[in-house]
Structure 1
Amino acid sequence: MQRAARELAARLGASATSAGHRVTLAQSGRLRTGEQSRWMRFTAHQWIALGSPAFSWVARTGPFGALTVRDGFINGKPEAGLFLFGVVPLNRSHASDALTKGELMRYLAELPWAPDAILHNSQLRWEDLPNGGLRVTANIGSVDASVIFTLDANGHVATVTAHDRPRQEETGLRERPWHGAFSDYRRVGSRWIPHAAEVGWEVNGRRFCVWHGRLECWKIAVSGEIRR
């Protein structure tokens, strides 16, 4: 592992002897599907694995919380879908290399919420960049995914970017520039965890946000079972 990655893990308070196998967290915020779409409030629960690229994010949104959004990467397989009342599929993406790449990139981008994974996930490859940033890469089969982190004055992750994250559009998944930002770092036990974040896209030269969220709770889970 690159020294800069070890130093980042140390600044975030990651434990070299972590007792957990994943983190669990809850979020609230607003989301939308595109620049012209209306914002909708959401609440979500998520777990992120520490030893392998895996996560599951389940959000409730829409009128009376009737819509459930699922996004995940479990046992090497991606999933993404929209469901009515949590069970009736309204839109479901089929597994593909593009979807795998997108979900793997999400796992990498959200490492600030799972800092112990920087030390414990041996599938991550780190590279120091000339501007002081870090590139982290992982692969599943023939699919490679990378994101780039920049750091704030405290040495915490401030932004995450990628030039080629697959985005769902009318014609299918298309690679687009993607960006995110983390802020409001707070101490949770021995770790520094960002409590605010946003993400967005760039389409035809226009940048726009599609997700603003706040962390409501965060903890290390001792169970090693990886399931939805």
Structure 2
Amino acid sequence: MSNIRQAGMARPETLIRLAERIGAQVTRAETKARLRQRGILRTGSTGRWMKFRARQSIDVNRPSFCWTASVGPFGLLQVRDELQDGLPQGFVRLLDAITLSKATPSPALLKGQIMRYLAELPWAPDALLSNDRVSWAEEADNTLRASVHAFGVRASVLFKLDADGTIASVSAEDRPRQEGRGFRERPWRGTYGDYRRVDGRLLPHKAEVSWKVDGTWFPVWRGKLEQWEIGKASS
């Protein structure tokens, strides 16, 4: 019997099997997964693809993260996207000096950032068992719903498992997307692949993110995992 089952955790059976498959561990200490990525991104269906390199921290015990990237030729643009203590933030800067855009905290932005945290749990697998602020429910056809009700908003995503018992995709019908000066809830999805074992955890090394607008899906983010580690939040 695994340590997960010995702990008698009140989790759906499908989640327990997923956690066992990917090597998730139970921790009550403040812990972060830290990773580095590279890939390409764009802002819309007709936008120009730009290269990026990014580093990210994802909290295992609470819905918080920080993603910082150098984007475009010579990394001239610095992009930050984060959620800390219920406060969603983000900005784009030129040469890390001139602010080109800055996100204004709002319920829509907060919901979107919580959904991003949930969607990226495959890169923080210990959070599947260690973050008590995330609730789980089994859906039909090997699907799990992860939800957070906090900071005055509700947010959830659906994880679809593949035949190997790992997460193949994540989706939502109502993720807020910034359009002009406001937000509109749109269908959204991400796919994961190229799983490899790192420090005892089975992690996806490739991912893609897409939006659906006016009946058409288009990708906006494609990335690869280059480095991953986990440790105390203060380290």
- TM-score of the two chains, using structure 2 as the length reference: 0.92
- Among 84, 93, 104, the alignment partner of 2:94 is 84
- Among 100, 103, 107, the alignment partner of 1:97 is 107
* Structure 1 unmatched runs, 5+: none
CA distance in 2, matches of 1:197, 1:79: 23
Is the 1:18–1:116 Cα contact (8 Å) retained in structure 2?
Answer: no
CA distance in 2, matches of 1:63, 1:217: 22
Structure 1's consecutive aligned runs of 4 or more residues displaced over 3 angstroms after TM superposition are 17-20
Q: Which amino acid aligns with 1:170?
A: G
- Among 159, 165, 190, the alignment partner of 1:149 is 159
Q: CA deviation at 1:223?
A: 3.0
Provide Cα deviations, 1:68-127, integer angstroms capped at 9, x if missing partner.
Answer: 111010111101211112232101110000000000000000000000001100001101
Find the counterpart in structure 1 of residue 189 from structure 2: 179
CA distance in 2, matches of 1:124, 1:18: 14
In the alignment of these two chains, the number of paired residues is 225
Provide Cα deviations, 1:17-70, integer angstroms capped at 9, x if missing partner.
Answer: 477601000000000000000100000000000000000000001221110111
**SS of alignment partner, residue 157 of structure 2:** strand
Greater shift, 56-65 or 13-22, is seen at 13-22
**SS of alignment partner, residue 104 of structure 1:** helix
Asked if residue 140 in structure 1 is aligned to residue 140 in structure 2, the reply is no
Q: Which amino acid aligns with 2:152?
A: S
Q: Which amino acid aligns with 1:150?
A: K
Find the counterpart in structure 2 of residue 129 from structure 1: 139
Find the counterpart in structure 2 of residue 64 from structure 1: 74
- Among 41, 53, 59, the alignment partner of 2:63 is 53
Q: CA deviation at 1:217?
A: 0.3
Asked if residue 211 in structure 1 is aligned to residue 221 in structure 2, the reply is yes
Query: What is the root-mean-square deviation in Å for CA atoms of aligned residues?
Result: 1.3
Is the 2:206–2:224 Cα contact (8 Å) retained in structure 1?
Answer: yes
Is the 1:13–1:192 Cα contact (8 Å) retained in structure 2?
Answer: yes
Greater shift, 11-20 or 153-162, is seen at 11-20
CA distance in 1, matches of 2:210, 2:226: 21
Provide Cα deviations, 1:191-215, integer angstroms capped at 9, x if missing partner.
Answer: 1000000001000001000000000
Provide Cα deviations, 1:113-162, integer angstroms capped at 9, x if missing partner.
Answer: 00000110000110100121000000222200000000111110000000
CA distance in 1, matches of 2:22, 2:30: 16
Q: CA deviation at 1:14?
A: 0.7
* Structure 2 unmatched runs, 5+: 1-10
Find the counterpart in structure 2 of residue 221 from structure 1: 231
CA distance in 1, matches of 2:28, 2:131: 12
Residues 173/24 of structure 1: CA separation in 2 closer, same or farther (3 Å cut): same
Asked if residue 43 in structure 1 is aligned to residue 43 in structure 2, the reply is no
CA distance in 2, matches of 1:72, 1:181: 21
Find the counterpart in structure 2 of residue 159 from structure 1: 169
